[in-house]
Structure 1
Amino acid sequence: MTLEKILAIGGKPGLYKLLTQTRTGFVGESLIDGKRVAVGMRNNVSMLSEIAIYTLEEEIPLREVFQKIKDKEKGGKTSIGHKEEKIKLEEYFFEILPNYDEDRVYPSDIKKIIQWYNILHDQGITDFSETDDEDGTKSSSEEE
């Protein structure tokens, strides 16, 4: 499963897998407990593949941040919990992304990123590479 099918829903904890779209929204399944939820168009919903983190130079896609965490942790879960003190969270994130914009990336954002990474890790979703579109081209405009 790729990040294109994983959602963060405002006001609801954890992450959700997109199951199907309906006339009034969509149905998602919690990655934590497997419960299904119907979500209307009024809810604030973000696909993880569309989220980016501010740095001093540019915005970095969340999948790249997850890959940096995976590399640091050698494929394991984070060495820090998402409920740690603000200073510990910031120190950890600085190791991952030394040039992140401290004015625009809040401790609450760092908590979510760490929590989301660990949820994805628990579900075996650890491939954070770019996905190929149907025509075989990279989904990102960046060339390697």
Structure 2
Amino acid sequence: MSLERILAISGKPGLFALKMQTRTGFVAESLVDGKKVTVGMQSNVSLLSEISVYTYTQEKPLFEVLQAIANKENGGQAPVLKDDKAALLAYFGEVLPDFDQDRVYASDVKKILNWYNILQANGMIVLAEETAETVATTEEVVAEEVKEAKPKKPRATKAKATTEEGATEEKPKRTRAKKTKTEE
């Protein structure tokens, strides 16, 4: 799961995937309905990879929180607990037991669960076991490719023409012919 190009734009519901940058902002595609939106530089935009959740000991990156929700739900949808503040905080306490209850609000938990469900619906949530298996198989493939790769030969460089004193030779400059006007 990579959150590097996933955005949350204030004033717009849902999450967006960054498609391209422009001179005046960028173009993003909604993960909810697939519509493309142009966003100016004055808009308040947050990258999900830069967001973290307060705990009593340190700040926990959002990636790890979403991974904990995925492990709790076995990769399925998180429950939608819209209006029940106590249920939201109790559920989040099961996912992240040491979250700071003074600085993390129920609205924050609701937003995180909503983001998780959007990412899960788009297939961007991967369980930790699947991630570990994928990393192990790619490491094995890379190791085999390194063994099979032939060593590269160093390239030969061209020597510059030098004089007896060791300085490079310079070509003489050409003189231009002057154009003359002809009378008819």
Tell me the equivalent position of 2:84: 85
Contact 1:63/1:128 (<8 A) preserved = no
Structure 1 residue 127: Cα displacement: 3.5
Post-superposition Cα deviations, 1:27-85, rounded to whole Å, max 9, x if no partner, equal 0000000011111111110110110000000000000000000000011111x204141
Tell me the equivalent position of 2:122: 123
Contact 2:8/2:15 (<8 A) preserved = yes
Structure 1 residue 128: Cα displacement: 7.7
Counterparts of 1:18 and 1:30, CA distance in 2 = 9
Larger RCO, structure (CA 8 Å, separation 6 or more): 1
Alignment of 1:1-144 (within 5 A): 2-78=2-78, 80-127=79-126
Contact 1:51/1:61 (<8 A) preserved = yes
Structure with larger Rg: 2
Structure 1: stretches of 5+ with no match in the other structure: 131-144
Secondary structure of 1:69's counterpart equals helix
Tell me the equivalent position of 2:169: none
Matched-pair identity in %: 57
Contact 1:4/1:47 (<8 A) preserved = yes
Structure 2: stretches of 5+ with no match in the other structure: 132-184
Contact 1:82/1:115 (<8 A) preserved = no
Structure 1 moving runs of 4+ over 2 Å: 127-130
Counterparts of 2:28 and 2:81, CA distance in 1 = 23
Counterparts of 1:84 and 1:31, CA distance in 2 = 24
Tell me the equivalent position of 1:138: none
Instruction: Normalising by structure 1, report the TM-score.
Output: 0.85
Structure 1 residue 2: Cα displacement: 1.9
Q: What is the one-letter code of the residue matched to 1:2?
A: S
Counterparts of 1:7 and 1:128, CA distance in 2 = 22
Secondary structure of 1:91's counterpart equals helix
Contact 2:81/2:87 (<8 A) preserved = no
Count matched residues: 130
